Amino acid sequence: MQNRLILAWVLAVFTAGTISAKAGLGWTFDECKQHYGQPVSKPIGSDGKRKAHLYFSKGYIIVVWFLHDRVSRVCYGKKNGAQLSVGEVNDLLTTNVPEDVEWSVPVKDEASDQYWHLGTKKGEDTPTYLAVQSKQGGLCIFTDEDDWYVGQKNKEVVDDL
């Protein structure tokens, strides 16, 4: 009985430590501050509706992008520069989106040497969430709206050339 209580306590502490380092898509700035304190820099980015904040939390460097005052993209890297493990990637994927989202197996894009995951809500056919892991080991998770917005901004830059 005592071993079960110790095991339950260890699992609870591990889970709480893991989840508290995450930023959830859809969070407000205040929710981000509540989970891991003040950002470590002034807002990054000047492209109108999108702004980013940089945090250091639980061994991660976290960049959180806001679109319409809600987290629309969150990128993780380890402060020590190491690659994220498969377990860490899976944890980050599942804790940053609603519970009814299923992730595809990672697909490698040979041209960019990156791995892509598609997150689809149960009962839907079109992915609502995307994630990409770079060859350096960082992971970015974002909404399809954020992806569209970035694509439009990039298109405007090209059109202006």
- Convert the pLDDT of each residue in 8-29 to its tens digit: 332 333 333 333 445 589 999 9
Please report where in the chains the tokens 């407000």 appear, as a residue. 28
Closest CA to 141 of 83, 73, 95: 73
pTM above 0.85, yes or no: no
Instruction: Collapse the DSSP code of 15 into the 3-class scheme (helix H, G, I; strand E, B; otherwise coil) and give the result.
Output: helix
Type of residue at 135: K
pLDDT tens digit at each of 161 positions of the chain? 443 333 233 233 333 333 344 558 999 999 999 987 899 988 887 656 788 999 998 889 999 999 989 999 999 999 998 999 989 999 999 998 988 999 999 999 999 889 999 999 999 999 999 999 988 889 999 999 999 988 887 767 666 66
- Quote the tokens at residue 39: 């950002």
Is 67 strand, coil or helix? strand
- Per-residue pLDDT, 47: 59
